[in-house]
Structure 1
């Protein structure tokens, strides 16, 4: 019998899955005695020609058993004489019948088996990965947990006696691909390996690997070839550009296959990953040469080619590579983003059978679950009709929010939905903001391995083992985080979008729970105190951020300088916290734009619209009001929105800023950029240099729409040699039926000393 795509646990004598005993109270005559009263009762036995990973599994088992009990089990080759009871790890001769059974049942990659009798134990997988799973599941059932990639974040129980109940336990991962960390911030530690790698092993991440990241055209035919071969690259706007490939060019195809084949032979020694990503670069500037246009379907309204629809061009090029792979490497699949660059399935081309469709959970709500009506759910329904495997790309560690991102309630529903609809793998671009988002990282690996996991029970297990006496208030803390996220509005990874979710009242409730937990952890001592301090430090990042944002709104009403000073102080605390050595690159991931965001929050709150001599730059994206509460001297007719400042249909709004040169005067000033729904919004821009002076109109598109706005706009002639000027932006939503958004501007220039 084959167990495919689901976790199964089969026992000879045990009723419950995964119950191994610590201590003597659960022992029976049928149990395998591993350690008794601190003394080793068995020897680890590995194959004579053990693989690297079989030896690794044996050494890890030895290490953790010693940490738990103090007893160090010997590791011997199967050819060595062994008088003690044996625990076989890997493809030993003694385990050959079990391996044959696994193979004969057509079990998939990573299948693991634990067979335990009173005198012998076999930890074996159908492959090395399966053997690793079997080993770590025994350790897990001893009570080991890998919650954080640190020593204090790893739970290792203490017991002088260890027994393994009689059993036969078969496990098969629910998904063939279970990957979840976008970047690794800690290097391998040869002494203890308390690292992100060990965290991944302990949480059973792994499965198929792939080549090419997600945007791979650049690797196949690099843009460095553009000068010599411009014809290899995309044609649009009357010229060739290096951003994408001309995928119908025969030379491009040959070059791409040549690059790929060399990589397979040289780097992978003829054994390539199961997935080969043939996906466009990260932009939508696709080729529109005559040959490529043949792969562009007609618009539904009959008005020519739909050049925004790129999926047929993507699929046709990938099919070329798929045909080559099918001949030389039949075990491999091609994959590509199906719904990132385009919407809908191809109209002119049929995807190759050796293709895994990669679908992205991108540009849509992350907090309220996936179903047939959501963007990703709809794409899953459309693409699964081909019968090919599906692969999902999602985000369970936010790239835009560095503090709270409570998504467990969505994860708990989304992963089973993926499984039910033919998904074989999930990759989460999990930016490791461990301080505030760790519960996501503790839950999603478990569900990916076993889609039937009881999530509530797993969180209870985490709270109990990790927090000890502080478990209950921390459980209440996590439950409240999830409740407010689930009941709140849609979220799209923009940090400011969470401001309406984490109100002062919500923060007060969260603070009460975590302070209660902190008190209990401190009263109990280590290891709970250290764990609690790290989690509390992560909580404070969110607490300070949302407190600052709500204070900004009070400042807009009162203009009380003490409130602004408090805002600056809170942003300064965030800045200082993430740079402390014990927290640096641990509370949050610092490889993206997060540190720059924090620096900007602090700097702009501190300086506002006053600039010292030298170059200056002022910018705001207006998400959830942006900096308007701190810096705009007037704001009317505008609504805080998810992507900027919104205006109701046929309404008008105004922003006025006062810009000041500190100990100097303005030499230049340029309105460099403005962003918004320009087809709907009209703009009138005016400047004055005296508080009650007349406004000088710079440009106006109130009636024509801002798409005709002549950016950049040089304000120098009006503001030059003045130490202060006011900028007025009048906005008009010309649309009659829907909201339009103003999404930011950038002002630059120079201040010189008087």
Structure 2
């Protein structure tokens, strides 16, 4: 953290303040100072000097001479970079971690760094905080033009990072200069082996056929879901892999030994006994990781406290060179993690791990993985959550955003997170105001109003912000059509302020993409209603004019903005446009059940069923997105009774079900259609058995079932779809199977 001296100094020493006088570095485009490096500078010190020379020339036109300290003449005005013998008041004090110090006296400037890239961070901070340069996003930095460049005399700016590992995962930090400018890390640089790593250590493709005993024993059978950590050969294979990998990558700081995503943990006698002794499935994991860590005492290992390993063992403590990476995946994001009810399990896990180790990293989440472009207004909670981590002794944070693909306010999120990862207890508005001014310029005010309005409306709505949610489920609150119109007024003002500035206009268009995406997604849900994509046509409905063109414009702008996929492992803008083309080309199908009342025996899952019971008779079908136009029933049969209003002759029922094993959604095992004249006594008129679930089928797809009914006339029709009684063993988790139905078409 910033020390007390720095905090007090910064209250009166700020860029542009002249109370203590100024040192003139360049005057009318000519350099007055030289850069002085140590006699034997490090690579980082040389790079820092080159960075400073490059930007001073861009700012002022002046070319700073570069000399080694043994060639510097005493008394010449100098900018001392690195551990020189003339580092003045900051020359003797050791700088912790990747910290740095910037200081001046009456004539000279001194910049020193701690370990790693500390000296480079110091130079970029000088450029940003004192020379007015900005790097709000990827691409070229914003550089002011001034031939005379000055800095205050007698200043001292010491900074030490709060976290030893700092990563925000958005497109901007993938720019190498952005990463260094904002003092960030990358798992690609720090880790020799990252994330879910079991199957990198012992790949099933190489070993499972001959040695199934290396893998988890689940429901009475060996399966390639996780490793069997009590198997001695698994230990030797993992240690052998790491030994070779470490030799190939000696500079890597961390090595991950972590379960695969999902459950399917081993329940063999030895693993089960270990977990029972430890009181958690993390017991066998920590014992295994500790054994590996003991083989490589000079290396650091990370492992995941995630899903079934989230609670620490009761007996075995992590070794000193083992770091616990704790996940916050189960928490909603509309309130700070320190307060949110759904984060109670995470908070407890954090406190419990703190009792057994000082080495904790956090794997946090700041985007909606099912809809990267959906507005996700946790913007002003990011810093609060990082403060909570800091106050609880967390040493590092991986803040997972949308990765390489553009997402809602991706540039702003990366910037705010980067600032808070370095120092979470800085004034909360500082980074936000700096970003808005640097990135949106003359449109900063309406853009700030837009962002604040979204966040305020989310708070007022009091609804859950889910990283696996959908914008269609908020059509009645902060993403209602009225609210979207209100937000659009701010973006309209921003576009007006941008005027002929095409670069700025493009940034505002990108910021508008989440609203347009929400409108398009909600149009699928509204369907034949107001705000839907269908309008009356003859005796049915047809797509509204110009709707196809609107979709195409969105897709083109999304591609231009850098949207590669609209969801985690999902489709891109081009495929999204084609998906819409298919929807718009599909004739609307009339049904005797259209708009009729539906009664359910078992409840639907509200967070995924925006239209409630009406989902089954709204005239709309779904695709592979389970959160859109599907009635989602968890752990129960679908039993839906439709009141047709009056007795009618019935001949056919057409119904779709979704198969999406990744989200625990499976086809029914059997479909039964019954009819009734009074709604009390029902007679079966069709039965459709459904084939068993295929092995290892994780492909999301829609299955259509056409049932021919026994000739009957009835007012009431009941459809029963039997859900899978238990999760297939190959799925590898202990959740209940869900069933999804989109529309019951009756003829």
How does the TM-score come out when normalised to structure 2? 0.76
Counterpart residue number, 2:300: 333
**Structure 1 pair 358–480 and aligned structure 2 pair: CA distance change class (3 A):** same
The Cα of 1:629 is off from its aligned counterpart by 8.3
Counterpart residue number, 2:50: 59
Counterpart residue number, 2:631: 645
The Cα of 1:12 is off from its aligned counterpart by 12
Counterpart residue number, 1:470: 443
8 A contact 1:518–1:533 mirrored in 2: no
Decide which of 210, 215, 224 is 2:196's aligned counterpart.
Answer: 215
Counterpart residue number, 1:673: 659
SS in 2 for 1:519: helix
Counterpart residue number, 1:156: 143
8 A contact 1:567–1:605 mirrored in 2: no
1:574-624 superposed Cα distances (whole Å, 9 cap, x missing partner): 223223xx43448x778841417734752453244789xxxxxxxx99934
8 A contact 2:101–2:112 mirrored in 1: yes
**Structure 1 pair 632–159 and aligned structure 2 pair: CA distance change class (3 A):** farther
Q: How many residues are aligned here?
A: 653
8 A contact 2:318–2:357 mirrored in 1: no
Counterpart residue number, 1:354: 321
Decide which of 317, 330, 337 is 1:363's aligned counterpart.
Answer: 330
1:194-220 superposed Cα distances (whole Å, 9 cap, x missing partner): x72211222221399333221111222
1:519 aligns with 2:519: no
The Cα of 1:31 is off from its aligned counterpart by 2.8
Indicate the larger mover: 411-420 or 400-409: 400-409
The Cα of 1:508 is off from its aligned counterpart by 1.1
The Cα of 1:150 is off from its aligned counterpart by 1.9
The Cα of 1:232 is off from its aligned counterpart by 2.0
8 A contact 1:276–1:334 mirrored in 2: yes
SS in 2 for 1:94: coil
8 A contact 2:29–2:61 mirrored in 1: yes
Decide which of 496, 511, 516 is 1:538's aligned counterpart.
Answer: 511
The Cα of 1:569 is off from its aligned counterpart by 4.3
Decide which of 72, 87, 95 is 2:63's aligned counterpart.
Answer: 72
Counterpart residue number, 1:147: 136
Decide which of 2, 7, 14 is 2:2's aligned counterpart.
Answer: 7
Paired with 1:671 and 1:356, the residues of 2 have a C-alpha distance of 44
Paired with 1:56 and 1:585, the residues of 2 have a C-alpha distance of 33
8 A contact 2:193–2:256 mirrored in 1: yes
**Structure 1 pair 265–641 and aligned structure 2 pair: CA distance change class (3 A):** closer
Counterpart residue number, 1:190: none
Counterpart residue number, 2:354: 384
SS in 1 for 2:71: coil
Decide which of 108, 128, 135 is 2:123's aligned counterpart.
Answer: 135
1:248 aligns with 2:230: yes
1:86-142 superposed Cα distances (whole Å, 9 cap, x missing partner): 11212233339845411xxxx531021112112211111122411111111110112
The Cα of 1:678 is off from its aligned counterpart by 9.2
8 A contact 1:33–1:118 mirrored in 2: no
Counterpart residue number, 2:557: 577
Counterpart residue number, 1:176: 164
**Structure 1 pair 350–549 and aligned structure 2 pair: CA distance change class (3 A):** same
Indicate the larger mover: 387-396 or 135-144: 387-396
Counterpart residue number, 1:312: 283
Paired with 1:297 and 1:564, the residues of 2 have a C-alpha distance of 61
Paired with 2:722 and 2:336, the residues of 1 have a C-alpha distance of 35
Paired with 2:587 and 2:613, the residues of 1 have a C-alpha distance of 11
The Cα of 1:310 is off from its aligned counterpart by 2.3
Indicate the larger mover: 363-372 or 276-285: 363-372
Indicate the larger mover: 366-375 or 446-455: 366-375
1:199 aligns with 2:178: yes
Paired with 2:703 and 2:446, the residues of 1 have a C-alpha distance of 55
The Cα of 1:635 is off from its aligned counterpart by 8.7
**Structure 1 pair 487–550 and aligned structure 2 pair: CA distance change class (3 A):** farther
8 A contact 1:339–1:360 mirrored in 2: yes
8 A contact 2:10–2:157 mirrored in 1: no
1:623 aligns with 2:601: no
1:318-377 superposed Cα distances (whole Å, 9 cap, x missing partner): 121122233xx0xx4322111333443324533334322211121331222212642322
Paired with 1:348 and 1:426, the residues of 2 have a C-alpha distance of 27
CA RMSD, Structure 1 to Structure 2 (Å): 4.4
8 A contact 1:144–1:155 mirrored in 2: yes
Counterpart residue number, 1:323: 294
SS in 2 for 1:341: helix
Decide which of 97, 118, 125 is 1:109's aligned counterpart.
Answer: 97
Decide which of 470, 481, 491 is 1:495's aligned counterpart.
Answer: 470
1:155-180 superposed Cα distances (whole Å, 9 cap, x missing partner): 22222211121212210011111111
SS in 1 for 2:561: coil
Paired with 1:324 and 1:402, the residues of 2 have a C-alpha distance of 41
Paired with 2:13 and 2:566, the residues of 1 have a C-alpha distance of 34
Paired with 2:13 and 2:739, the residues of 1 have a C-alpha distance of 53
Counterpart residue number, 2:695: none
Paired with 2:494 and 2:332, the residues of 1 have a C-alpha distance of 32
How does the TM-score come out when normalised to structure 1? 0.76
Counterpart residue number, 1:606: 584
Paired with 1:566 and 1:631, the residues of 2 have a C-alpha distance of 28
Paired with 1:41 and 1:481, the residues of 2 have a C-alpha distance of 49
Indicate the larger mover: 155-164 or 89-98: 89-98
1:92 aligns with 2:87: no
